[in-house]
Structure 1
Amino acid sequence: MQAIEILERLVGFPSVVGTPNGEIVAWIRHYLQSHGAVVTELPGPEGDRSNLFATIGPKETPGYILSGHMDVVPAAESGWTSDPFRLRAEADRLYGRGATDMKGFLAAVLAAVPALAAMPLRQPVHLAFSYDEEAGCRGVPHMIARLPELCVTPLGAIIGEPSGMRAIRAHKGKAAARLTVKGRSGHSSRPDQGLNAIHAITDVLARARTEAERLACGPFEHVFEPPYSSLQVGTLKGGQAVNIIPDTCEAEFEARAISGVDPVTLFAPLRVAAEALSPLGFQVEWRELSAYPALSLAADAPLAALLGELTGIEPLAAVSYGTEAGLFQRAGIDAIICGPGDIGRAHKPDEFILAGELLACQAMVEALGRRCA
């Protein structure tokens, strides 16, 4: 099957983050097995979605991982000019949810599988396809934990997030958390008889703003834009009506951290401010939603040199968005980002990838196979 035909099949599966993914997993598994790959389906703890790991070539030798996620963000936003889950071709553009982020990469890799299977590989090529990456890389940690039983420690992992086929060596780490504050409801004419949860949570919001301003003063890592760690309030929900004392308020926070900083630690001052509400009679719940570490691959790393050779382009130092790459690196596997498409097209109506970008990625994968042979 050609890459465009495969992409058409993949886009047709509405594998939205946080939902069951059995159909797309089954199709990819069958396709890979039909070409002789050794495939392992790895169900996640949710019970209705799975990671997929496949090996082409000798399992007992260190090789390379090609990593991508099967989930996509929802397509409920207005502005789509066609069905987001039906691939539409217009000249060189291929429209559909996930075409760029990142079913285009999966399609290019799968299109290269017949060629890889025909090569006398001395080093294996592994495919690691994950779920729920769009919810903060929730699926891939379960697969990484199983890698010791699936393969010899790989020489490197190539994460195919859209990068214009230019390898990227670094990105920030990210964490997300939700704070829920519960007080006591009542009529607004008697504020003395209630506990206003919105008033209470403003102390934490103010601390978040103060911390964000402090982080902007450094430390700095100038390969990033902006060159410092960041913190923000992303959502705020509370209250029923203007004349009712709000008994519940909920806020979600996001932190992004430069290399060497655990993004979860950036929430510490906010948690202190939240815990100070308990003695005042409020119930406080802090829940970490997701977290992944920064990626930082040295400029002289063999994996960076390899991708420079395979793409013919000098690797880029860093980008602002995050990926699963940092999780592979934390597990002791060198990782780098390189995939087709432009991240600027992702998460938008009429998301698209160019047919030429698919072919360039397929050529890179087949070139990797020739190196492994």
Structure 2
Amino acid sequence: MERTEKIEILRQLVKIQSVNGNELPVAKYLKQLFDQAGISCQILPAGNNRANLVAEIGTGKPVLAISGHMDTVAVTTADWDQDPFTLTTKGDQLIGRGACDMKGGLAALVIAMIELKANKVPLVGTIRLLATYGEEFAEQGAADLTTAGYMKDVTALMIAEPSAYHVCYAQAGSVDITLTSKGKTAHSSMPQMGSNAVAHLVNALYQIQTNVTKLTAGIKNDTLNTETLFNIDVFHGGNQVNTIPNLAKAQISMRTIPEISNDALINTFKTTLAQYNAENDSDIRLHVEMSVQPVVGDPEGRMLHLIQKMGQPYLAATKFTPAEEKINQMALATVGLPANSQTIPALGAAGGTDARQFLVDQPLGADYTVFGPGNFTSHQANESLSAKMYLDFIKLYEALFPAYLNGEG
């Protein structure tokens, strides 16, 4: 496959507007590519124009699962210098929504499979692509595939989220909670006639955050290099300045670590709210939108070591921008490597991936890695991906996947 065709595949993926949904057209486009290549592939519809896709080359065991998601985050078009759904080239950069997170990584996986098939590369086992819907919210596509049994015989899992020349083997968990406070309207000159939903919610949130802080203070996971993170990300309440509000809502996101369970955090919310409601005659209710456990893979996993070995020449040949180099140095410092090291660092991250659903039955010790083309522009306006890195990762995958299946490393 020529360079222009590889970039055109990414261009077509970016063109499909799969913002928090609409993944079925992406799956149909990928199936068209696989059908043309003679690769076994199936679309698994999930309703509402959503779908997963599974494709395989090779046969038997071991089974290497490779994965990427088909959805992207939302776009504020006014913040972009060009149409976000038209892949634009500026120098070495390919710019467009999803170019980095993560249609670039997904395209690289697909092209690598097509070229391995076309070149009749011997595979001692199976490469299974799991392309998912809904990763950006709740990772439901990965949960569906896991429930359907697509992970049961998997030996190793690699997700092509943007990592550049770092390899990640651990992700924090997530808990997303919505709180709804119901009160009673009244004129603001007579607040005693009403019940202020906003005030109750603010006060309850303060108590919740205080209690979560007490539970989590000083407890850190060294692999993930983080403590439990607590963020109040959304707050809505009231509609007129001279009226006591009767409704308020807040959404809280927490990033979690193995040392403090999601259930313990959720229970802190519940007990704090129960006490607050009882003492203040308030009506604040809780709904858990998502709870996924942290995943910590094997730092001595064979795929991880293969990535470090086979990726090192590509790292050595890559020129980074000053901003990218700063990120690289921070990563090296995190894992205790010298600033001039040419070793691909292995580390954990506070962000999440579909692995938290794929590895729900094996949250600790799996042969699991995140390794894909990209940078730090995920979710940003003018999101971009180095064309050289994108093309290099395709070549690297074409060497890496057979090496793993054939027992190297």
Superposed CA RMSD: 2.1
Equivalents in 1 of 2:229, 2:211: separation in Å?
A: 8
Post-superposition shift, 1:13? 0.3
- Change in Cα spacing, 1:132 to 1:264, as seen in structure 2 (3 Å) is farther
- Within 5 A, what are the aligned runs for 1:1-373? 1=1, 2-17=5-20, 19-44=21-46, 46-58=47-59, 60-76=60-76, 78-117=78-117, 118-147=120-149, 150=150, 153-214=153-214, 217-225=217-225, 227-276=226-275, 278-279=277-278, 281-312=281-312, 313-332=343-362, 334-342=367-375, 344-371=376-403, 372=405
- Change in Cα spacing, 1:22 to 1:8, as seen in structure 2 (3 Å) is same
Equivalents in 2 of 1:363, 1:185: separation in Å?
A: 64
- Change in Cα spacing, 1:369 to 1:273, as seen in structure 2 (3 Å) is closer
- Change in Cα spacing, 1:114 to 1:298, as seen in structure 2 (3 Å) is closer
Equivalents in 1 of 2:256, 2:384: separation in Å?
A: 30
Greater mean deviation of Cα atoms: 162-171 or 95-104: 162-171
Equivalents in 2 of 1:88, 1:144: separation in Å?
A: 36
What SS class does the counterpart of residue 336 from structure 1 fall into?
Answer: strand
Percent of aligned positions with the same letter in both sequences?
A: 27
Q: Which amino acid aligns with 1:335?
A: Y
Q: Which amino acid aligns with 2:347?
A: A
Post-superposition shift, 1:287? 1.4
Native 8 Å contact 2:212 2:265 kept in 1: no
Equivalents in 2 of 1:81, 1:47: separation in Å?
A: 31
- What are structure 1's unaligned runs of at least 5 residues? none
Equivalents in 1 of 2:217, 2:275: separation in Å?
A: 26
Equivalents in 1 of 2:345, 2:357: separation in Å?
A: 20
Post-superposition shift, 1:267? 2.9
- Change in Cα spacing, 1:152 to 1:115, as seen in structure 2 (3 Å) is farther
Post-superposition shift, 1:85? 0.3
Native 8 Å contact 1:232 1:255 kept in 2: yes
Native 8 Å contact 1:185 1:247 kept in 2: yes
Equivalents in 2 of 1:267, 1:231: separation in Å?
A: 12
Q: Which amino acid aligns with 1:183?
A: G
Greater mean deviation of Cα atoms: 194-203 or 82-91: 194-203
- Aligned pair count reads 366
In structure 1, the residue matched to 2:329 is none
Equivalents in 2 of 1:141, 1:184: separation in Å?
A: 40
Post-superposition shift, 1:4? 1.0
Post-superposition shift, 1:278? 4.6
Post-superposition shift, 1:216? 5.8
Native 8 Å contact 2:67 2:130 kept in 1: yes
Native 8 Å contact 1:140 1:324 kept in 2: yes
Native 8 Å contact 2:232 2:251 kept in 1: yes
Post-superposition shift, 1:212? 5.0
Native 8 Å contact 2:167 2:345 kept in 1: yes
**1:14-64 CA-partner distances (Å, limit 9, x unpaired):** 0001x33221111111211221222122223x5431111111111x32221
Native 8 Å contact 2:100 2:374 kept in 1: yes
Post-superposition shift, 1:215? 5.2
Equivalents in 2 of 1:170, 1:369: separation in Å?
A: 21
What SS class does the counterpart of residue 115 from structure 2 fall into?
Answer: helix
- What are structure 2's unaligned runs of at least 5 residues? 313-342
**1:55-102 CA-partner distances (Å, limit 9, x unpaired):** 1111x3222111110000111153211100000011111000010000
**1:291-343 CA-partner distances (Å, limit 9, x unpaired):** 3221212222223223223323444121232212233232345321111111x
Native 8 Å contact 2:77 2:83 kept in 1: no
Native 8 Å contact 1:176 1:253 kept in 2: yes
